[in-house]
Chains A and B, each alone.
Chain A
Amino acid sequence: MDERVKKASREESGARERDPAGDASPAKVRDLTKIYGSVTAVDRISFTLSQGTTVALLGGNGAGKTTTIAMLLGLVVPSAGEVRVFGADVSRNRGAIAHRMNFQSPYIDLPARLTVRQNLTVYAGLYGIANAAERIAYIAEDLQIAPLLERLTGKLSAGQKTRVGLAKALLNAPELLLLDEPTASLDPDTADWIRQKLKDYAETRGATLLLASHNMAEVERLADRVILLHQGRIVEDETPAALIATYGRKTLEQVFLDIVRGRAKHAVSPERKAS
Chain B
Amino acid sequence: MRTAPTEGKGVKPIVLAPTGFSASLRRIGALIKRYVYLLRSSGVRLLELIYWPFLQMLTWGFLQKYLSETTSPLAQAAGVLIGSVLLWDILFRSKIGFSTAFIEEMWARNLGNLLISPLRASELVAALSIWSIIRLSVGMVPVAFAAYLIFGFNLLDLGLALVAFFAVLVLTSWSLGLISAGVILRYGLGAEELAWSLAFLLLPIACVYYPVSVLPDWLQPVALALPPTHVFEGMRAILLEHRFEPAQLWWALGLNAVYLIIGYVTFSRFLASARVNGTLLRLGE
Assess the A114–B37 pair: CB atoms within 8 A. Answer: yes
Residues 95-114 (chain B) with a chain A CB within 8 angstroms: 104-105, 108-114
Q: A111-B108, A122-B37, A128-B23 are in contact. Are A75 and B16 (CB under 8 A)?
A: no
Tell me the minimal C-beta distance from A114 to chain B in angstroms.
5
* Cα distance, A114 to B30, chains bound together (Å): 13
B5 partner, pick from A99, A110, A135, A173, beta carbons under 8 A = A173
* In the complex, chain A residues whose CB is within 8 Å of the CB of B275: 74-77
A98 interface hit (Cβ, 8 Å): yes
**How distant is the Cα of A34 from the Cα of B280 in the complex, in angstroms?**
14
With the chains together, A67 CA to B34 CA distance in Å? Answer: 29
**Interface hit among B116-124, B189-197, B212-220:** B116-124
CB distance from B104 to the nearest CB of A (A): 8
User: Whose C-beta in chain B lies nearest to the C-beta of A122?
Assistant: B34
The answer to whether A123 and B117 have CB atoms under 8 Å apart is: yes
**Which residue of chain A is the closest to B27 with respect to CB atoms?**
A126
Of the A-B pairs whose beta carbons lie under 8 Å apart in the complex, a sample of 23, sorted by A's number, is A67-B278, A75-B112, A75-B116, A77-B275, A77-B276, A95-B120, A101-B116, A103-B116, A109-B284, A110-B113, A114-B41, A125-B26, A126-B31, A126-B117, A128-B118, A129-B17, A130-B17, A135-B12, A138-B12, A173-B5, A173-B6, A205-B5, A205-B8
Chain A proximity mask over B118-152: 1 for CB below 8 Å, otherwise 0: 11100000000000000000000000000000000
Q: How far is the CA of A165 from the CA of B116 in the complex (A)?
A: 14
Measured in the bound complex, the distance between the Cα atoms of B111 and A108 in whole Å is 8
B38 A114 Cβ-Cβ under 8 A: yes
Contact B113 A108 (CB under 8 A): yes
Nearest CB in chain B: distance from A120 CB, A = 11
CA distance A135 to B14 in the complex (A): 7
Q: How many residues of B contact A (CB 8 A)?
A: 48
**In the bound complex, do residue B112 and residue A113 qualify as a contact, i.e. CB atoms below 8 Å apart?**
no
Instruction: Given A36-B277, A76-B278, A125-B26, decide whether A172 and B11 contact each other with a Cβ distance below 8 A.
Output: no
In whole angstroms, what is the CA distance A154 to B175 when docked? 32
Q: Is B117's CB under 8 angstroms from A76's CB?
A: no
Q: For the complex, is B222 an interface residue (Cβ under 8 Å from A)?
A: no
CB distance from A253 to the nearest CB of B (A): 27
Is B281 in contact with chain A by the CB < 8 A criterion? yes
A201 within 8 A of B: yes
> Is A73 in contact with chain B by the CB < 8 A criterion?
yes
A74-116 contact mask (Cβ, 8 Å, vs B): 1 or 0: 1111000000000000000001001101110101111111110
Report the separation of the CA atoms of residues A113 and B36 in the bound assembly, to the nearest whole angstrom: 11
Q: State which residues 148-164 of A face B: CB under 8 Å.
A: 152
Q: Given known contacts A95-B118, A95-B120, A205-B7, is B27 in contact with A128 (CB within 8 Å)?
A: yes
**Is there a chain A Cβ closer than 8 Å to B258's Cβ?**
no
Query: How far apart are A199's CB and chain B's nearest CB, in angstroms?
Result: 12
Q: Residue on A with the closest CB to B42?
A: A113
B109 touches A109 (CB 8 A): yes
**Secondary structure class of chain A's binding surface, majority of residues:** mixed
Chain A residues contacting B5 (CB-CB under 8 Å) are: 173, 205
CB distance from B280 to the nearest CB of A (A): 5
Instruction: Report the minimal beta-carbon distance from A123 to chain B, rounded to whole angstroms.
Output: 7
Known: A110-B110, A138-B11. Is A73-B27 also a contact (CB below 8 A)?
no
Q: Given A126-B117, A205-B8, A111 and B16 touching (CB < 8 A)?
A: no
In contact, B34 and A204 (Cβ under 8 angstroms):
no
Closest B residue to A172 by beta carbon equals B14
A-side contacts of B8, CB under 8 Å: 204-205
Report yes or no: A172 in contact with B281, Cβ–Cβ below 8 A: no
Complex: A112 Cα to B105 Cα, angstroms: 10
Q: Are B30 and A122 in contact (CB under 8 A)?
A: yes
Contact with B along A124-140 (1 / 0, CB 8 A): 11111111001100100
Interfacial chain B residues near A128, Cβ < 8 Å: 16-17, 19, 23, 26-27, 118
CB pair B14–A129 under 8 Å, yes or no, is: yes
Say yes or no for A213: interface residue by CB 8 A criterion.
no
Tell me, in angstroms, the Cα distance from A205 to B9 when the chains sit together: 10
B243 within 8 A of A: no
A70 touches B (CB below 8 Å): yes
User: Quick check: is A121 within 8 A (CB to CB) of the other chain?
Assistant: yes
Whether a CB of chain A sits under 8 angstroms from the CB of B33 is yes
Q: Point out the residues of chain A lying under 8 angstroms from B12, CB to CB.
A: 131, 134-135, 138
A201–B104 alpha-carbon span in the complex (Å)? 32
Contact of A118 among B23, B26, B37 (CB under 8 A): B37
